[in-house]
Amino acid sequence: MISHRRLLAGLTSVLPLLFSPLVSAADTHSYAEPGKVLVTALDLDLNVAMDKHVLSGHADLSLDWKDKSAHELVLDTRDLSIEQVDLLDAKNKASSLEFELSAADPILGSALHIAMPKQGAKVRITYHTSPNASGLQWLDALQTAGKKHPFLFSQSEAIHARSWVPLQDSPAVRFTYTAHIRTPKELRAAMSADNDINHALDGDFKFSMPQRIPSYLMALSVGDMAVEATGPRSAIFADPGVVKAAVTEFSDTEKMIATAEKLFGAYRWGRYDILVLPPSFPFGGMENPRLTFATPTVLAGDKSLVSLVAHELAHSWSGNLVTNASWDHIWLNEGFTTYVQGRIVEAIYGRDQDLMEFQLSTDALRRSFADDPKLDQHLVPDLKGLDPDDGLSDVPYTKGDWFLRFLEARFGREVFDPFIRGYFDHFAFQSITTPQFVDYLKANLLDKNPGKVSMDEVNEWLQGVGIPKTAPDLQAPRFKIVAANRDKWLAGTLDAKALNGKKYSTQEWEYFLDSLPPKLTLAQMQQLDAAYDLTHTGNAPIGFRWYLHAVRSNYTAAYTAMQAHMIRIGRRILIVPLYVELAKTPDGLALARKIYAEAKPGYHPLTRASVEKALSDTKR
């Protein structure tokens, strides 16, 4: 998933050992007991009630009993109404089982305890979801691009799958699944499975995911979706009015797949399709296997933001293929993926593009470390007692990527590339922890190439705070030109029009705006806006940065456009900081509340929670 900022409570000390696990091997964010009984397959049969905002039907779970003395199956649920639980025999004959839902925990939801007097191979759970399920967003027709039909999409990461399916909701548990989804006949269903791009709109869809995946990668979407191919194994799903632009923007998808395969081994998931969701999607992208979910905010018209696709595609190796066993180890997903993303971008779009994106990330991380004393700077935090949605920051993405670039620089690509490829092969379709990675690193890279990297240096990255002294300083040459012109403009010796901003890439504009003083004069804001009309840009990442300056500099001429941006877009990273900034003054807080009142119906539940926290946390 593309990164978004979240705060963490700090850990205590840096441990001096080779790598002492900072967290338990058990997943503290799941009630499940996979050491006793493991769910190996899921068969879903669900009806989609778009008008009632409810999924209803049953889930059949295939069980592998590890503990022959165990007689209870414990599953994760959140706000599910469990109607019946049955034991299914070899002929699918059902016999009723007793069950109990525990009291709901605000983070974990409710444990579903199923008494199993006899260790059966399959259970059926008949249930329906809540209209307020945290893992589902239901949009009315007016909240979509086409404004003709309602829309549904899921977001299961981190622990929201339990809000629409009763299961062992832990990344440590991998299973295959099939699904039978019934929808209104005018709508299309798509899942993180084998989507048939030629499927008739008949209201009856069947899916199969033959590879074992963790629960957070299970995804469902239902809506008015057109489909167009971008290659022999890739296609775009999107609103009929958006699909043409998306096909053009993502036309390099097949080239990205082939590039990644050349670097890191075969793509093992069959197809790679992309679903462009309505603007309310709270993230940049979500790496659901076979069907990446993507925000429409990356449709810039010039392919300048397609690194998002490179990132989500990269998850097909790092995250989906080799998965963190618990959310404390998410850097194994996101750090590796960000590194692989950079290699894909470099191979297709050039070294300059990769360096610009890398420097934007590392500059942002440096600012975070300097400005936010509450930010946990460890690569492997302890998230026990925290909602994993509130525990993620840029640290696992950027610091994890930086660590792998450090290893690459020390060993050289001729050594490091085979190591990474071997790592993906060795742990394919497994969920692992950081100590397992360290064991593999030591045996297959450090010990085979002595004198290149010490374990003390590895420990500094994995267990230390801040940015290690061994971090390679990778600067983008094109940013040096932007910086020189920026300094002249700030000094008053260069007119805004002479910045040459009309030729800037998105990344150059992001760097320019990020590196300006927090507060500009009214004359400076007016000069930039007159030269480049930043207030009315259609590029969401540039607009977001400009609106931050508008709030800090009290440039009210941009407020109408900013308000439209905040209502139209639900991607958290592009709107939540604006609410935070507005809420720092009484007038700004009043405006933020007004904007949120209008925007709230179109926001995802995760976005609502972030905005409400931003508005309530500010001292007034």
Report, as residue numbers or ranges, the catalytic residues: 312, 397
Tell me, yes or no, whether 516 and 459 share the same domain. Answer: no
Would the pLDDT of 320 be above 60? yes
Q: If you average pLDDT over residues 468-495, what whole number do you get?
A: 97
- Asked whether residue 271 is domain-assigned, the answer is yes
d(CA 591, CA 438): 50
264 and 122 in a common domain: yes
Q: What is the pTM of this model?
A: 0.93
Confidence of residue 7 (pLDDT cuts 50, 70, 90): very low
Q: Is residue 9 part of a domain?
A: no
In this prediction, what percent of the chain has a pLDDT beyond 90?
A: 92
Determine which helix (DSSP H) or strand (DSSP E) holds 123, and give its type and residue range: strand 122-128
**Alpha carbons 311 and 607: distance in angstroms, whole number:** 22
Question: How many angstroms separate the first and last alpha carbons of the chain?
Answer: 34
Residue with tokens 């996979």, as numbered in its chain: 34
Measured from the Cβ of residue 21, the count of other Cβ atoms closer than 10 Å reads 16
Dihedral pair phi/psi, residue 406, rounded to 5°: -60, -45
Task: Looking at the structure, tell me whether residues 172 and 55 fall in a common domain.
Answer: yes
Task: Give the mean model confidence (pLDDT) for residues 535-557.
Answer: 97
Please check whether residues 205 and 74 belong to one and the same domain.
yes
β-strand partners of 188: 223
Q: CA 496, CA 454: separation in Å to the nearest integer?
A: 49
pLDDT mean over 118-126: 97
CA-CA distance, 294 to 277, in Å (whole number)? 6
Residues 66 and 210 placed together within one structural domain of the fold: yes
**Can you tell me the distance from the alpha carbon of 31 to that of 24, in angstroms, rounded to the nearest whole number?**
14
What integer pLDDT is reported at residue 11 of this predicted model? Answer: 27
Token pair of 595 as six digits: 């904007």
Last residue of some domain: 463, 492, 521?
Answer: 463
Instruction: Write out the residue range of the structural domain in which residue 282 sits.
Output: 37-314
567-574 mean pLDDT: 95
Please report the pLDDT score of residue 392 as a whole number: 81
pLDDT digits 0-9 by tens, 16-47: 233 333 333 589 999 999 999 999 999 999 99
Binding annotation: 311, 315, 334
Q: With bands split at pLDDT 50, 70 and 90, how would you rate the model's confidence at 3?
A: low
Query: What's the total number of domains in the chain?
Result: 3
Q: Which of 285, 314, 343 is the last residue of a domain?
A: 314
Does residue 14 lie within any of the structural domains? Answer: no
- The reply to whether 2 falls in a domain is no
Does residue 368 surpass a pLDDT of 70? Answer: yes
Residue 12 binned pLDDT confidence (cut-offs 50, 70, 90): very low
What mean pLDDT value characterizes the chain?
94
| CATH code of the domain covering residue 384 | 1.10.390.10
CATH number for position 568: 1.25.40.320
User: Are 333 and 357 within one domain?
Assistant: yes
Mean pLDDT for the stretch of residues 135-150? 93
For residue 307, give the nearest of 352, 264, 271, 365 by alpha carbon: 352
Is 173 a domain residue? yes
Same domain, 435 and 507: no
Q: Are residues 387 and 284 in the same domain?
A: no
- The pair of three-digit structure tokens given for residue 447, joined into one six-digit string: 């010990």
358 lies in some domain: yes
Helix (H) or strand (E) holding 12: none
Asked whether residue 513 falls in the same domain as residue 575, the answer is yes
Rounded Cα gap, residues 115 and 452, in angstroms: 55
User: With bands split at pLDDT 50, 70 and 90, how would you rate the model's confidence at 391?
Assistant: confident
Binding-site sequence positions for Zn(2+)? 311, 315, 334
pLDDT number for residue 2 = 61
SS3 track for 240-262: CCCHHHHHHHCCCHHHHHHHHHH
Exposure string of 222-248, with b = 16+ CB inside 10 Å and e = fewer, is bbbbbbeebbebbbbbbbeebbebbbe
Distance CA 332, CA 328 (A): 10
Q: What is the CATH number of the domain that holds 234?
A: 2.60.40.1730
**Are residues 390 and 530 both part of a single domain?**
no
Same domain? For 367 and 294 the reply is no
In a domain, 3, yes or no: no
Structural domain ending residue among the three candidates 463, 496, 512: 463
Do residues 373 and 338 both lie within one domain?
yes
20 assigned to some structural domain: no
pLDDT, tens only, 218-276: 999 999 999 999 999 999 999 999 999 999 999 999 999 999 999 999 999 999 999 99
Q: What pLDDT sits at residue 9?
A: 30
